[in-house]
């Protein structure tokens, strides 16, 4: 009996404890639900719900005529909620095969069996955010919306669309480094410098975290809509840009150069109309991956001689008619020889002749003679031109110019003569161009400009005008003389080939030896930098241009042969697009000669052509094999052009095919530069040929 009571007591006690615990649980449930409910729900929301930023649509970038250079293209990540309300087992099973087949045909990245397996596995795992495809285009998205199951929409059919923007360049790599990007490790170009204007302001979207740490949108609409970025209008002319880039690439390939750049600027405003920068890749192609024109400061070489002569003119130390003794084209300073690239025509030259022929000896002697006792005055005058200061460009990354001071530890007795011809100093191509542009602009230095307007939905909210950095770099008299010697370079000097243009060109060539960090200026490891900088039309300048080619490696490295042809192709394009540049009346009788100009070549070929065209002709010797043709009279006169074994033949006026045939059969190695007919040959006709000798022919 006592045992039975003991057992019942224990049962009652256990039951009481269970009741108390149950009551406590009920109390706690009521407390959590009604007393602390709001607090716990807020904590739950804070852990599963969050506002995620939405990137705004980035503004567009346009050329000066409104052509689209860069834009943001919407792309989409497509996901599938396998447990959406309308995706019942019956709907899923009846449509999954067709869906897998459609996806495989659209994307062609997997078989339909792979898609089928992955989608079924995602449904088994109750995946509500299964990734179908990333970076889907708008066109592909429209097709996706018609696929089985997905066509029922987002809420019912489980289609989830995550939109994002991808930056796209409309013209490929044209000016791509100047347009720039904000996606690189180091943002560059217009995209980076005007990022605050382009990026707009982001929005917000409420997202919920579900299984697998995946977030899905709570609503179809965004809680805070993003505001689109502003648009930019650049100064670039896409047609000239295209010519500049293609011409630069063609000549870089021809000379097997490491890299190069070309810039065209409007003289009066500083607006950059074209800027091309190309680098050779390991596979031999050329791409835009660095803005050499803006960022690469290097020794400018002979293009710097203009600043040297202007300094001496401004200080009243010289006149262009003064003479300088250049001897045999070699000068020695403190035991180091300074040679000219070519032997001088005379042992004595006027300063203008020394400049036109780009005589290192002549220019260095002029500066050395007049500034030896006060080299600081020469450096101060150079700095007064603004050559030691950055331009303060609209886009970042400008290289630091360098003009050596006499207080520098590296200053030596060699510094003065070597600085005068463009060494021991550094300038970027754009800094050099800006100096020459100032000479063309009556001394006024304008800041190079890349962006002209900022727009918001087509409305101008900010406009950039031409900005003058210096009112004048020199006196009017000195500027007049500077323009005189620059025109002389083209008319009589190192780029006489440019003198055949229908418009006048003024400029200066540059050929600089590039310092090697390991070998210095050792001849066996020497590389060169070829350049040409100038403006046109010379009598009324509207555009200035610089071309720099780095490390040409096919034995042709002079600025006149490598860079000047690129300058001319760009200038010709500008001139052909702007007939207003030619203000003189057109003489129609000079445009249509009575008889055509005819190439020199084989007599038999010429005879066939003239007979077919029924043109009047006369031949000095009917048995002649090679002839040249004079079309200045009433009949085409064909004169025999004799070739003598062992002597260099005359190929000027011939087409490339005939010229190469003659020269190679004579035993010469031929190098070709340019297009058209042969305008010049590097070895004079009649010179005795040496075995293995090389000849350069220029076409124009």
Q: In whole angstroms, what separates CA 546 from the centre of its chain?
A: 13
pLDDT of residue 593: 47
- Give the tokens for residue 201: 């302001």
Q: For residue 527, how many other CB atoms are within 10 A of its CB? A: 17
pLDDT of residue 587: 42
- DSSP E strands: which ranges in 171-267? 203-210, 214-217, 231-234, 259-266
Q: What Å distances lie between residue 209 and 16, 45, 126, CA to CA? A: 43, 10, 15
* pLDDT over 70 at 223, yes or no: no
At 428-468, the pLDDT tens digits run 999 999 999 999 999 999 999 999 999 998 899 999 999 99
Report d(CA 535, CA 488) in Å as an integer.
Answer: 13
Residue 223 vs residue 425, higher pLDDT: 425
pLDDT of residue 591: 38
What's the average model confidence in pLDDT over 536-561? 83
pLDDT bin (cut points 50, 70, 90) of residue 228 is: confident
* % of the chain surpassing 90 pLDDT: 48
Report d(CA 592, CA 632) in Å as an integer.
Answer: 13
Report d(CA 244, CA 263) in Å as an integer.
Answer: 8
> Does this model's pTM top 0.75?
no
Whether a cis peptide bond, with omega within 30° of 0, leads into 537 is yes
Q: Where are the domains of the chain?
A: 52-230, 239-574, 594-699
Report d(CA 275, CA 120) in Å as an integer.
Answer: 54
At 559-577, the pLDDT tens digits run 667 898 999 999 998 988 7
pLDDT of residue 583: 52
* pLDDT over 80 at 125, yes or no: yes
- Give the tokens for residue 313: 């003119």
Q: Do residues 481 and 317 touch, judged by C-beta distance below 8 A?
A: no
The CATH number of the domain covering residues in 239-574: 3.40.710.10
Fold (CATH) for 52-230:
Penicillin-binding protein 2a (Domain 2) (3.90.1310)
* pLDDT over 80 at 34, yes or no: no
Q: Do residues 91 and 150 touch, judged by C-beta distance below 8 A?
A: no
pLDDT bin (cut points 50, 70, 90) of residue 161 is: confident
> What SS3 class is residue 691?
coil
pLDDT bin (cut points 50, 70, 90) of residue 695 is: confident
At 470-523, the pLDDT tens digits run 999 999 999 999 999 999 999 887 676 788 788 899 999 998 877 655 444 545
* pLDDT over 90 at 327, yes or no: yes
> Among 1.10.287.180, 3.40.50.1980, 3.30.10.20, 3.20.20.210, what is the CATH number of 594-699?
3.30.10.20
Of 556, 537, 471, nearest to 499 by C-alpha is 537
Contacts of 649 (CB under 8 A, 6+ apart): 641, 643, 662, 663, 666, 685
Of 348, 314, 310, 298, nearest to 328 by C-alpha is 348
* pLDDT over 50 at 105, yes or no: yes
* pLDDT over 60 at 211, yes or no: no
Q: What Å distances lie between residue 229 and 57, 184, 186, 461, CA to CA? A: 6, 20, 21, 12
Q: Which helix (H) or strand (E) segment is 613 a member of?
A: helix 603-613
At 279-310, the pLDDT tens digits run 999 988 999 999 999 999 999 999 999 999 99
pLDDT bin (cut points 50, 70, 90) of residue 397 is: very high
Burial class of 268 by CB neighbour count within 10 A (0 to 12, 13 to 18, 19+):
middle
Highest mean pLDDT among 13-22, 156-165, 208-217, 323-332: 323-332
Please give the backbone phi and psi of residue 135, each rounded to the nearest 5 degrees, phi first. 55, 50
At 632-688, the pLDDT tens digits run 556 666 777 777 777 778 888 888 888 888 887 788 888 777 777 788 787 777 666
pLDDT bin (cut points 50, 70, 90) of residue 592 is: very low
* pLDDT over 80 at 247, yes or no: yes
Contacts of 259 (CB under 8 A, 6+ apart): 252, 277, 278, 279, 280, 290, 292, 550, 551
Report d(CA 295, CA 259) in Å as an integer.
Answer: 13
Taking the CA of residue 533 as centre, how many other CA atoms within 13 Å lie in the half-sphere pointing to its CB?
33
pLDDT of residue 643: 75
């Amino acid at each position: 009996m006592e045992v039975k009571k003991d057992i019942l007591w224990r049962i009652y006690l256990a039951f009481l404890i269970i009741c108390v615990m149950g009551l406590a649980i009920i109390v706690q449930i009521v407390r959590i639900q009604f007393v602390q409910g709001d607090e716990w729900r807020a904590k739950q929301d804070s852990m599963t719900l969050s506002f995620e930023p939405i990137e705004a649509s980035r503004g567009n970038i346009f050329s000066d005529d409104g052509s689209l250079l860069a834009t943001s293209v919407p792309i989409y990540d497509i996901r599938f909620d396998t447990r959406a309300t309308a995706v019942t087992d019956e709907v899923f099973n009846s449509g999954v095969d067709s869906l897998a087949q459609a996806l495989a045909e659209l994307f062609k990245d997997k078989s339909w069996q792979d898609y089928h397996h992955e989608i079924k596995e995602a449904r088994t795992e109750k995946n509500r955010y299964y990734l179908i495809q990333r970076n889907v285009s708008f066109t592909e998205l429209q097709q996706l919306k018609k696929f089985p199951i997905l066509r029922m929409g987002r809420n019912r059919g489980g289609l989830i669309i995550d939109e994002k923007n991808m930056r796209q360049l409309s013209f490929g790599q044209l000016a791509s480094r100047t347009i720039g990007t904000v996606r690189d490790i180091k943002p560059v170009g217009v995209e980076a410098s005007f990022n605050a204007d382009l990026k707009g302001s982001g929005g917000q979207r409420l997202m919920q975290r579900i299984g697998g740490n995946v977030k899905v949108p709570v609503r179809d609409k965004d809680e805070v809509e993003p505001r689109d970025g502003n648009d930019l209008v650049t100064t670039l002319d896409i047609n000239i840009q295209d010519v500049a880039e293609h011409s630069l690439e063609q000549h870089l390939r021809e000379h097997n150069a490491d890299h190069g750049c070309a810039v065209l600027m409007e003289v009066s405003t500083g607006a950059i109309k074209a800027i091309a920068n190309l680098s050779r890749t390991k596979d031999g192609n050329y791409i835009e991956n660095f803005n050499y024109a803006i960022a690469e400061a290097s020794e400018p070489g002979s293009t710097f001689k203009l600043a040297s002569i202007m300094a001496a003119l401004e200080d009243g130390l010289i006149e262009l008619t003064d003479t300088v003794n250049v001897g045999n084209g070699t000068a020695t300073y403190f035991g180091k020889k300074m040679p000219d690239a070519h032997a001088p025509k005379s042992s004595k030259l006027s300063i203008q002749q020394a400049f036109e022929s780009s005589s290192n000896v002549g220019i260095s002697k002029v500066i050395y003679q007049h500034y030896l006792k006060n080299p600081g005055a020469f450096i101060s005058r150079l700095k007064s031109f603004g050559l030691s200061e950055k331009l303060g460009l609209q886009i970042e990354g400008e290289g630091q110019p360098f003009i050596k001071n006499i207080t520098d530890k590296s200053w030596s007795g060699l510094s003065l003569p070597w600085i005068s011809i463009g060494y021991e100093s550094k300038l970027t191509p754009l800094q050099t161009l800006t100096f020459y542009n100032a000479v063309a602009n009556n001394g006024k230095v304008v800041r190079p400009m890349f962006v002209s307007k900022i727009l918001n939905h087509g409305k101008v909210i900010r406009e950039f005008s031409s900005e003058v950095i210096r009112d004048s770099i020199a006196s009017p008299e000195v500027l007049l003389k500077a323009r005189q010697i620059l025109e002389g370079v083209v008319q009589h000097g190192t780029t006489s080939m440019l003198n055949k243009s229908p418009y006048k060109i003024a400029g200066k060539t540059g050929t600089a030896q590039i310092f090697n960090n390991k070998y210095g200026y050792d001849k066996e490891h020497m590389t060169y930098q070829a350049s040409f900088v100038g403006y046109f039309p010379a009598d009324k300048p509207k555009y200035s241009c610089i071309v720099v080619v780095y490390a040409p490696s096919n034995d042709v490295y002079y600025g006149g042969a490598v860079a000047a042809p690129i300058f001319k192709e760009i200038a010709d394009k500008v001139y052909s697009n702007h007939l207003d540049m030619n203000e003189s009346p057109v003489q129609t009788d000079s445009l249509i000669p009575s008889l055509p100009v005819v190439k020199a070549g084989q007599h038999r070929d010429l005879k066939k052509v003239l007979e077919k065209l029924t043109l009047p002709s006369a031949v000095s010797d009917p048995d002649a094999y090679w002839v040249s043709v004079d079309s200045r009279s009433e009949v085409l006169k064909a004169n025999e052009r004799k070739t003598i074994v062992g002597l260099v033949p005359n190929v000027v006026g011939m087409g490339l095919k005939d010229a190469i045939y003659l020269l190679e059969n004579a035993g010469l190695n031929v190098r070709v530069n340019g297009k058209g007919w042969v305008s010049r040959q590097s070895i004079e006709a009649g010179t005795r040929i040496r075995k293995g000798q090389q000849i350069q022919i220029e076409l124009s």
